Amino acid sequence: MDPTRSIPTTRPLRRRTAARRAHRSQSPWSISALARLMITATTTALLLLLAAHTPTVVLATPWTFNIGVILPFTGPDGTPNLSIETLYQLITTALPVMNSYNSTYYQFNLIRGNSMDSRSGAIAAMYELYDQNNTVAYIGEASSGMTVPLVLAESRVRTWHCSGMASSTDLSKDDFPRFFRTIPDDSQQGVALARFVKSMGWTHVNILASTDSYGTSIGASFTEAARVLNITLSLSDVYPSGTQDMSMQVKNILNSESNVVILALSSGDDAITLLREARKQGALDASHVWIGTDAMSEYLPFLNPNSPTYASDLANAQGVFFVYPLLATGSAPYRQMEAAWAAMGKTTSPDAIAYGGLNYDCALAIAKGLIQIAVKYGAENVTMKNLWLVNHFFTPPFDGATGTLAFTDTGDRLGDFSVWNMYTGTKRVAYNIYANASVVRINAPQFYSGTAIPPPDIPPKTALYPTWSDPFVVATAVVRALLLALFSAGTGVLVMHRTKPMVKNLSFPFLVIITVGCQLVLVSEFVAVGEPTRVTCHAPVWILTVGYEMAMTSAAVKTYRIWRIFDKSMRRLRAINNEFLFRLVGGFILVQSIIFAIWLGAFPSTPVAVSSKQYLYYECRSSNPMGVTVVTGVSVAMNALLLAFVIFLGYKTRNVASSFRETLWIMYTSQNVGFVAIIVLSFSLISLSDFALGAYIVRTVLLIYAVIFTYMALVGRLVVALLRGAANVESASGTGKAGGTGTLTATGAATARAQAGMKVSLNHDTGKVAHVHGRYPVKETSRWFATWKTHAVHLYAGDGYLALVPDSAETAGHLGTMVRLAGTTFDPSPVNYATCMAIYSRGRSWVIQFDKDEDRDAWAKVMASVATVSAASRSRSKDPRASGGNKEAGNPGASLPSLASEGVLATANTSRGMLPVRGAGAKD
């Protein structure tokens, strides 16, 4: 019924009834009077019955509805909240529109209520507004956590409530029959976020949500939508709302696989705290994308321009995105709101105010609903019982500042969203996300890098395993290839000279085995390059171990033979032959191969990818870790014992004057291999995750070093000596003798011949030789690249010393060497050194060149009285094919067995030493 028709009808009816009461008191009863009374009563009853079915409006002036706006205008300590104050001012611009809906009969008034940012404060403000102003509806609160208890308290007074900020799905339940909102609920926002992520091509994201109802509901809806859209959550983390420490959350994000972060934060303050911590930990960069929910719209308004951190806080939001309900900026209601805002003297745009348009539309929706109920049931009955949103309050959909307002049965708004992009302290819409699942680009986005190119959700991972695209792998592969070629060439040299005594003395077969072992170690690294497979989990280890064992077992049996000669009975010396030693080497390698075959057959290992945010590497894992542990333990123990055995024997025989000081170099080699093995095993058996490639680099460098050292110490020195043999023969032999005098023709050798012959001094008491001396060219053959130099050579037979003193202008001031003859051996006719005598002592060796064989023989006779003739010399003296041997000088030691095959020079005492002697021209 039109209210304008009910007002004149009701008032005359009341006046006529009063007049007739006065007339009845003066007139007697009559039939006509009774008839009139009955007609009047009947008419009154009919009017009352009609009134029961027709709304009656008794307004002489427009009815004013008071609507409370409950927001945290201040904090608990009374500090003004300027952004909330600005929001309230924008809400008040809706009053002219509200009052224009039915200005004749209904007007509206907005009354503020300060919740002081607490639940109890919000409820207290509501009751105060109700008691003092008879409020019938409310707008607010600023968060879902504050709104839920507020709406529950309002159920006692049956008021209506609209929120433009509370989006929790908890408010969609039947527990809130008079609550509705203009902001889409979190379930819709979570779906919109997931659709945006999908449209950007990202498939892996992180989500950080607050523990309150707002964060929980968005987290749940996004998680479900992500599952439907096949989006993987690399990290799902939470934080307590209002916390000031988000260091752990940011650290978790940095450690996560994805660089795309969804933020369901409770407020702009939380966003400020988070981004500051992200800046501190280096998480704000071109590789990361931060996407917030509608709460992120509070970020810029919450910043204080007077704060010293204002500039850095603005920079922290560079390239940050957030989802926000779509604003219909081109619609007439929005332009009307914008004009009213400008009329208040405001220069900023309404869309710069967080939730401004949504709360503005709340005011319009409440006004329409209250008018609809008042017209039907009376203004005084707008809060009576049995009134519902759908049947009584909601009007047909209408256009507001944020678009068309249409609501579900639970009071939720069906809305679209925009994706806002913050950059350089401003924000603009980059995308619109519609309810039909379409995502439309509005403006070019600006990510942290300043470009519109979305960074990948999963950054390219660095492969922490060797690949052929790695320059280091290529470089080391070239080095290994060159070494393999050199070692092969060295083997060729050994084959060509295998009949020479120096090769025989060092046992040609074992030299070849050591070379092959070194080559296998190098080859094992080639097999390990590339993406790991089941083959690469076994082959490199197997090849490396066999190569190591070939070299070390060969060194072990060679040293064992020498040790048996000098520390054991020599009656069984003939039993230690090459065939027996070969069986030892082969048996050890066979046992190791059987162990590895059990590993491969019973519990094989397969590569398992292990990835972090930046790296990808593989670990070889077995379905039976215990079995692999046993195999590894047994293998390590076997080879450790082998190495310890070689070190022990090398140490025990270190002072044996063997050819090329072989036992001493075997000890050096075993020590180096042991040092390298400790490091290589540590990097191989211990998982170092992000340092996996670094561990490979360390292993590779150390293995190459160990191989080079082992080869040069045990084989390479002999190969070099063989290659230089022609020059040595040339320099130590006379190319044309005249009177038995040879000349030195080698480059760098001493060219001066002895200026005086052998001089001998006798002991006056005994008549024996006491001192022999002369000037001769001397070369220290135990040093690489040594040259011939003139020395004054003194033999003190009575004292048991041999002095080698540099005696030339170029060596003036150089120290000489005093050799203790006890334990020293000599060779009166060394191979490849004609007219020379070789001296061996404590791992060092020298060659002294004489003018003629007679001088050499005279020296050898004196040396034989104080030193031991080498076994190699005696073996040549027994061989009719040997050349240049001095049988007379070798007689004193003829009773010793021939040890030439072991490359050993007999020695009688290991307690010997060498003392330095100053050369000619030296000053004290």
Indicate the SS3 state at residue 464.
coil
Q: Is 411 contained in some domain? A: no
This model's pTM is above 0.85? no
Quote the radius of gyration of the chain (alpha carbons, Å).
52
Please report which residue ranges of 182-331 form alpha helices under DSSP H.
Answer: 186-199, 213-228, 247-255, 268-280, 299-302, 310-316
Closest CA to 522 of 500, 493, 555, 551: 551
| Residues contacting residue 50 through CB under 8 Å, at least 6 positions apart | none
Q: Is 836 exposed, middle or buried (0-12, 13-18, 19+ CB in 10 A)?
A: buried
Q: Is 49 contained in some domain? A: no
Element (H, E) at 819: strand 815-820
Residue at 107: amino acid letter:
Q
Residues 225 and 127 in one domain: no
Residue at 199: amino acid letter:
S
Look at the block and give the residue holding tokens 């619109």.
432
For residues 358 and 363, what is the distance between their CA atoms, to the nearest angstrom? 9
802 DSSP 8-state letter: E
Residues 126 and 212 in one domain: no
275 with 281: CB under 8 angstroms? no
- What is residue 690's predicted lDDT score, i.e. its pLDDT? 67
190 with 221: CB under 8 angstroms? yes
- Full domain range(s) for residue 88: 63-182+355-392
- List the CATH number of the domain containing 314: 3.40.50.2300
Mutual angle of helices 534-567 and 625-652, in 10-degree steps: 30
Residues 305, 306, 307, 310: what is their CA dihedral angle, to the nearest 10 degrees?
30
CB atoms within 10 A of CB 874: 26
471: its two tokens: 């320059």
Closest CA to 146 of 267, 269, 291, 263: 267
570 DSSP 8-state letter: G
Closest CA to 804 of 837, 833, 761: 837
The per-residue DSSP string of 138-173 comes to: EEE-SSHHHHHHHHHHHTTTT-EEEESS---GGGGS
The per-residue DSSP string of 766-787 comes to: T-SEEEEEEEEEEE-TTSTT--
Q: Is 201 contained in some domain? A: yes
**Cross-strand partners of 421:** 321, 428
| Residues contacting residue 659 through CB under 8 Å, at least 6 positions apart | 502, 505, 506, 872, 903, 904, 905
Asked which of 704, 726, 748 is the last residue of a domain, the reply is: 726
448: its two tokens: 């942290």
For residues 722 and 255, what is the distance between their CA atoms, to the nearest angstrom? 59
Q: Is 486 contained in some domain? A: no
Residues 681 and 547 in one domain: yes
For residues 198 and 338, what is the distance between their CA atoms, to the nearest angstrom? 34
Look at the block and give the residue holding tokens 């590894």.
632
151 with 371: CB under 8 angstroms? no
- List the CATH number of the domain containing 857: 2.30.29.30
Residues 559 and 699 in one domain: yes
SS3 sequence of 706-720: HHHHHHHHHHHHHHH
Q: Is 858 contained in some domain? A: yes
819 with 802: CB under 8 angstroms? yes
Residues in the chain: 924
- What is residue 858's predicted lDDT score, i.e. its pLDDT? 87
Residues 144 and 206 in one domain: no
Peptide linkage before 298 cis (omega within 30 of 0): no
Look at the block and give the residue holding tokens 């008040």.
92
Q: Is 275 contained in some domain? A: yes
Tell how strand 868-869 and strand 769-779 pair up.
Answer: unpaired
Closest CA to 258 of 454, 457, 463: 457
Element (H, E) at 761: strand 759-762
Number of domains in the chain: 4
- What is residue 78's predicted lDDT score, i.e. its pLDDT? 92
Residues 68 and 164 in one domain: yes
Residues 627 and 703 in one domain: yes
For residues 148 and 168, what is the distance between their CA atoms, to the nearest angstrom? 9
For residues 644 and 652, what is the distance between their CA atoms, to the nearest angstrom? 12
For residues 254 and 76, what is the distance between their CA atoms, to the nearest angstrom? 35
- What is residue 506's predicted lDDT score, i.e. its pLDDT? 81
Give me the sheet containing 137-140, strands edge to edge.
106-114, 63-71, 137-140, 160-163, 179-181
For residues 760 and 353, what is the distance between their CA atoms, to the nearest angstrom? 115
For residues 463 and 693, what is the distance between their CA atoms, to the nearest angstrom? 8
Indicate the SS3 state at residue 38.
helix
Q: Is 17 contained in some domain? A: no
Q: How far is CA 600 from CA 398, 531, 586, 861, in A?
A: 75, 19, 21, 65
Residues 306 and 219 in one domain: yes
Indicate the SS3 state at residue 325.
strand
Residues 668 and 778 in one domain: no
Element (H, E) at 679: helix 662-685
CA atoms within 13 A on the CB side of 899: 27
Residues 594 and 676 in one domain: yes
Residues 388 and 423 in one domain: no
293 with 185: CB under 8 angstroms? no
CA atoms within 13 A on the CB side of 565: 28
Peptide linkage before 141 cis (omega within 30 of 0): yes
Residue at 416: amino acid letter:
D
Q: What are phi and psi of 61, to 5 degrees?
A: -130, 160
For residues 202 and 200, what is the distance between their CA atoms, to the nearest angstrom? 6
Residues 649 and 675 in one domain: yes
686: its two tokens: 């211990």
Q: Is 511 contained in some domain? A: no
For residues 681 and 308, what is the distance between their CA atoms, to the nearest angstrom? 54
Closest CA to 559 of 655, 641, 666, 714: 666
732: its two tokens: 């130590």
CA atoms within 13 A on the CB side of 832: 15
The per-residue DSSP string of 616-631 comes to: EEEEEEES-HHHHHHH
Closest CA to 258 of 211, 218, 224, 290: 290
* Successive 10-residue mean pLDDT values, the chain, 924 residues: 34 33 38 52 52 48 94 94 93 95 93 94 95 95 90 92 89 88 89 95 95 89 94 94 93 92 92 95 94 90 89 94 87 92 91 89 96 94 91 91 89 90 93 91 94 91 82 92 94 89 82 93 89 88 92 88 63 60 88 90 86 77 88 91 88 66 82 89 75 82 93 89 60 34 30 52 70 88 80 85 83 78 85 85 87 86 83 58 40 35 36 40 38
Q: What are phi and psi of 473, to 5 degrees?
A: -65, -45
452 with 446: CB under 8 angstroms? yes
